[in-house]
């Protein structure tokens, strides 16, 4: 059941997106988040959709895999959609049940917000699918570099992140293992009323918490044994290369932003 989570999973590949500088991708996503909020009519959402699909195709990640990975968020998307239908009372009534009316404004609003969610998840998961976590971290460390001057612990933050990312698969494996062990003892994680279900997670979370503590302790010791003493005086193996295509990609995004700004409904 944990196999389906794709956020944080990296899929090796050689696509253009894989080859881009992580800094460009991070900046790109940053820009994209703003761009998504520019869209406010069918045309602009349509353009964003074309853009998002194009990005997925460029990444060469199989569509079936993307679809499977998105499935867990469908619940949230549908929930958001229904919520908007219930709450929004604008425009014409398209459906009348007597006690309850559906307005076209609600339908549109629901569709827009749902699309926005899908686009955001799609594009951000493309970042992790095509960029190794360590590249993301490197990118962040570089981008945040200037903040070192104001004593922001950028190196420590980056290291913390890379270690967390390194341990995500390990912890997922561990979660699955403990889950199975408790299921073998008759525990159920998916049935019953909410209160019961929350209680059901105690046998999973306590062992997970304990083992994570143990891991952290071991890891700190191993790092010290290997001569770690903070960022000072450290050299780095990994260097990033900013290429023409990175500038190009960001430029494209800015054009997209400009186009969306012009085509959005003003007022």
Chain positions contacting other proteins, by CB under 8 A: 3, 10-12, 62, 64-65, 68, 132-134, 162-163, 165-166, 169-170, 173, 177-178, 180-188, 202-204, 206-207, 210-211, 214-215, 218-219, 221-229, 233-239
Task: Please count the other Cβ atoms lying within 10 Å of the Cβ belonging to residue 196.
Answer: 10
How would you classify residue 230: left for phi > 0, otherwise alpha for psi between -120 and 50, otherwise beta? left
Closest CA to 216 of 205, 224, 204: 224
Distances (CA, A) of 204 to 116, 195, 227, 249: 34, 15, 35, 44
Q: Which residue number, 121 or 260, has a Cβ lying nearer to other proteins?
A: 121
Using CA atoms, how far apart are residues 31 and 22, in angstroms rounded to an integer?
14
The pairing of beta strand 101-103 with beta strand 93-96: antiparallel
CB of 17 to other proteins, least distance (A): 16
Q: Which residue number, 43 or 222, has a Cβ lying nearer to other proteins?
A: 222
Give me 214's structure tokens.
Answer: 């143990």
CB of 236 to other proteins, least distance (A): 6
CB of 241 to other proteins, least distance (A): 14
CB of 258 to other proteins, least distance (A): 37
CB of 31 to other proteins, least distance (A): 26
Closest CA to 82 of 103, 107, 101: 107
Q: Which residue number, 149 or 226, has a Cβ lying nearer to other proteins?
A: 226
Q: Which residue number, 156 or 188, has a Cβ lying nearer to other proteins?
A: 188
Angle at which helices 22-38 and 133-144 pack, to 10 degrees? 80
CB of 237 to other proteins, least distance (A): 4
Q: Which residue number, 97 or 239, has a Cβ lying nearer to other proteins?
A: 239
Strands (E), the chain: 93-96, 101-103
Q: Which residue number, 186 or 267, has a Cβ lying nearer to other proteins?
A: 186
């Amino acid at each position: 059941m944990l196999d389906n989570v794709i956020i944080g999973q990296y899929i090796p590949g050689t696509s253009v997106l894989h080859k881009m500088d992580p800094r460009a991708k991070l900046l790109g996503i940053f820009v994209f988040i703003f761009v998504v909020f520019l869209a406010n009519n069918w045309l602009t959402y349509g353009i964003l959709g074309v853009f998002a699909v194009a990005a997925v195709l460029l990444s060469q990640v199989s569509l079936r895999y993307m679809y499977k990975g998105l499935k867990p968020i469908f619940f949230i998307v549908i929930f958001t959609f229904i919520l908007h239908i219930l709450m929004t009372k604008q425009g014409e009534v398209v459906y009348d049940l007597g006690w309850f009316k559906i307005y076209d404004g609600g339908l549109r609003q629901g569709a827009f917000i749902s699309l926005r969610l899908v686009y955001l998840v799609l594009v951000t998961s493309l970042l992790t699918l095509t960029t190794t976590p360590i590249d993301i971290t490197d990118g962040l460390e570089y981008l945040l570099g200037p903040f070192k001057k104001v004593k922001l612990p950028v190196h420590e933050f980056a290291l913390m992140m890379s270690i967390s990312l390194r341990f995500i698969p390990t912890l997922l494996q561990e979660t699955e293992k403990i889950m199975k062990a408790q299921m073998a003892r008759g525990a159920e994680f998916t049935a019953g009323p909410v209160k019961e279900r929350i209680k059901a997670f105690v046998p999973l979370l306590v062992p997970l918490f304990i083992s994570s503590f143990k891991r952290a302790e071991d890891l700190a010791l191993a790092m010290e044994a290997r001569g770690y003493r903070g960022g000072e005086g450290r050299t780095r193996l990994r260097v990033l290369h900013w290429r023409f295509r990175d500038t190009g990609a960001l430029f494209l995004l800015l054009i997209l932003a400009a186009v969306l700004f012009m085509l959005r409904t003003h007022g």
